[in-house]
Structure 1
């Protein structure tokens, strides 16, 4: 039996006849009872499902970054990871069904209007990844020395992400961290983005390219 929410004119929660009432992010929904499907999925549906799995497999482990990078996108209706999926879905997947792959150069892990890192670079030496960026703040562009800098690397062969243990700052200009021994062969794809200290502004992420670790 359903429970009425906010009086007779409000939404309801629970089952009422052939419909179910629920709410998410203060939005009330009514949907029909689930009916078991006997009709097999169409090729278009299978293609969409495979695209979803391909991209979400990449996004799920980096939800910490997405909460910052996409946490300001349509927050009333979308979670950050769903906003990231929506933003990347049409540009980050390549290949032909069922052999989809990710175009890492077109993947964004953040999108916003904060001024980015200026001249950015990444290098690898003696088992260590080093990211660098411009340090200058600007009152005109509302950038400051304590803006936070996030770096990320992805090893596709091992399907693992690595990063610094905590964000650096714009005024620091550089951050380095060791690559675990089991990841020191092959290559990594690399990204960088910034937020202000309160995480109420974020920059677009920058793809820094693929870096050989051998």
Structure 2
């Protein structure tokens, strides 16, 4: 794929002969028409395809979180979900082809320099998941009471995610939500991360562990 930089004819969209023109974020691109493969995929290609499926199956449903958690990562060249994919591909997949699986403890929902929330906890009681964190703020670290707190739980057996309708704040120190009846078995994996109010700075996400629901 080529990039058009103020060429003689400028950018274009659509098909022209054997190439297709398109643009993204004011950058014009040209690429050749798709050619049907005549050779079977190599073993290395099959491995990469299976890793892609394994990771993207997890990431796609939480794109709204990734827009925040990876929204400042090289945004002129890649989308947040692609930035999250590249980041997690290096660390979060384990196993051998074709039996890849996610190492949830190494999955990152966000990555940044905002100071985190200190001592963290998660507890399941009476049908509710409760997340707790420190409420301390610091001018030196530029952390404030209105920093936003995002929590996420994933139920691997049901392949479903859970979270709150709206983020909490650093000053709250706690947030909880009711777990749907059909999910109150097995266990969930849990994460937490923060952003400032304008969502221009984020913390690294923290894996809080696996929580038993029954």
Shared fold (TM-score greater than 0.5)?
yes
Contact 2:124 2:213 in 1 (8 A): yes
Match of 2:14 in 1: 14
Q: Which residue is equivalent to 1:41?
A: 41
Do the aligned partners of 2:145 and 2:171 also contact (CA within 8 Å) in 1? Answer: yes
The farther-off stretch of 23-32 and 80-89 is 23-32
Partner deviation per Cα, 1:91-139 (whole Å, 9 max, x = no partner): 1111110111000000000000000111111011111111000001110
Residue 178 of structure 1 aligns with which residue? 178
Indicate the residue corresponding to 1:208 in structure 2: 208
Could you tell me how far apart the structure 1 residues matched to 2:163 and 2:68 are?
15
State the distance in 2 between where 1:96 and 1:70 align: 28
Instruction: Tell me the CA shift for residue 23 of structure 1.
Output: 1.6
Once residues 59 and 34 of structure 2 are traced to their aligned partners in structure 1, the CA distance between those partners, rounded to angstroms, is 28
* 1:6 to partner: Cα distance: 6.4
Q: Which runs of 5+ in 1 are unaligned?
A: none
Larger deviation: 112-121 or 11-20? 11-20
Please list every run of at least 4 consecutive aligned residues from structure 1 whose deviation after the TM superposition is greater than 4 angstroms.
Answer: 4-7
Distance in 1 (alpha carbons) for counterparts of 2:7 and 2:77: 24
TM-score, normalising length from structure 2? 0.95
Aligned partner of residue 36 in structure 2, secondary structure? coil
Gaps of 5+ in 2: none
| Structure 2 counterpart SS, 1:209 | strand
Kept in 2: contact 1:116–1:194 (CA 8 A)? yes
> For the aligned residues, what is the CA RMSD?
1.5
Compute the displacement of 1:25 (Å). 1.8
1:155 and 1:25 mapped to 2: Cα distance? 36
Moved more, 160-169 or 12-21: 12-21
Q: Structure 2: how far apart are the matches of 1:200 and 1:103?
A: 28
How far apart, in 1, do the equivalents of 2:58 and 2:38 lie?
A: 31
Contact 1:189 1:211 in 2 (8 A): yes
TM-superposed deviation, 1:18: 2.2
- Distance (Å, rounded) in 1 between the aligned partners of 2:61 and 2:150: 15
Alignment partner, residue 187 of structure 1? 187
Q: 1:5·1:13 contact (CA, 8 Å) conserved in 2?
A: no
Asked if 2 retains the 8 angstrom alpha-carbon contact of 1:5 and 1:12, the reply is no
For 1:111, the equivalent position in structure 2 comes to 111
Tell me, what secondary structure is at the counterpart of 2:29? strand
How big is the shift at 1:165? Answer: 1.6
Give the C-alpha shift of residue 31 in structure 1.
1.5
